[in-house]
Amino acid sequence: MSLIVTAFVPSCIVMGGDSRLTLKYPDPFTGNFISQIANDTTQKVFNIQNKFGLSTHGAASINGIQLPFHIYQFVTQNINNATEIEDLPELLLRHFSDNLGRPNTFFHLAGYKLINETPTQYVYRLDINNRLAIRLNLANDANAIYNAECGGEIEVLITLRELNPVNFNVSNQQQAVGFIDWVINTASTRLNANGYSSVGGPTDILMISPNGSQWLRRKPLNINVL
């Protein structure tokens, strides 16, 4: 299981995700599924051309290949300087649903578009298996919504919001970052039936503003040479 959190406040959009990859396999003796930690280095948040943000949870590999490879392939094949945030939901659905067999993968997608010279936020949730894209930050009356969306271990967000409601309409960038850290750090302390948390490792945080997207925090790439 993963945990990704996207907070959208008036000044920016902030996306965060943990780095833990867990694997499930059947117990040869009981037939019950066992899960274990595979690594704490998995990338779940992506900076797309310093313009858009993308994060993911759900199936971590497609056809035996890790999801980051497919995301980099998608960017190379589909995105150029003229690509707008409104283009991306259909492009992602077409690439992952139609070309890759509709894996049980979910995305958060975020970016800005100029409308009448005004930078306008776009935040989406995509369900690849069911080929759905839902815009999260627009009310029925077309007014902007400021809020937070969680993917993966959503129970922790529900619990924390009941304990300490947050008014995202008056929150800033630092408060959005603090909220994401709070949710992910809390989730990492919750142990499952196997005695460990399925959320863990470093938290990557990406900020998207009208000026583009940039990393606020990114885990280092460690290469051990034997």
pLDDT of residue 226: 40
| Structural tokens at position 141 | 């009356």
Question: Does residue 222 fall inside a structural domain?
Answer: no
Side chain identity at residue 52, one-letter code? F
pLDDT of residue 45: 98
Question: Does residue 223 fall inside a structural domain?
Answer: no
Query: For residue 94, what is the domain's CATH number?
Result: 3.60.20.10
Question: Does residue 65 fall inside a structural domain?
Answer: yes
pLDDT of residue 164: 77
Question: Does residue 221 fall inside a structural domain?
Answer: no
Distance between CA 198 and CA 155 in Å, rounded?
13
- pTM value is 0.91
Q: What is the count of structural domains for the chain?
A: 1
Question: Does residue 226 fall inside a structural domain?
Answer: no
Distance between CA 34 and CA 36 in Å, rounded?
7
- Are the C-beta atoms of residues 146 and 9 closer than 8 Å to each other? yes
Radius of gyration of the chain (CA): 18
Q: pLDDT tens digits for the chain (226 residues)?
A: 689 999 999 999 999 999 999 887 777 777 777 778 889 999 999 999 999 999 999 998 999 899 999 999 999 999 999 999 999 999 999 999 888 989 999 999 999 999 999 999 999 999 999 999 999 999 877 788 999 999 988 777 777 777 778 899 999 999 999 999 999 999 998 877 667 788 999 999 999 999 999 999 999 875 544 4
172-208: string of b/e by CB count within 10 Å (b at 16+)?
ebebbbebbebbbebbbeeeeeeebbbbbbbbbbbbb
**Closest alpha carbon to 37 in 50, 51, 18, 24:** 24
Question: Does residue 225 fall inside a structural domain?
Answer: no
pLDDT of residue 145: 94
Question: Does residue 214 fall inside a structural domain?
Answer: no
Range of the domain at 166: 3-209
Question: Does residue 205 fall inside a structural domain?
Answer: yes
Distance between CA 100 and CA 81 in Å, rounded?
25
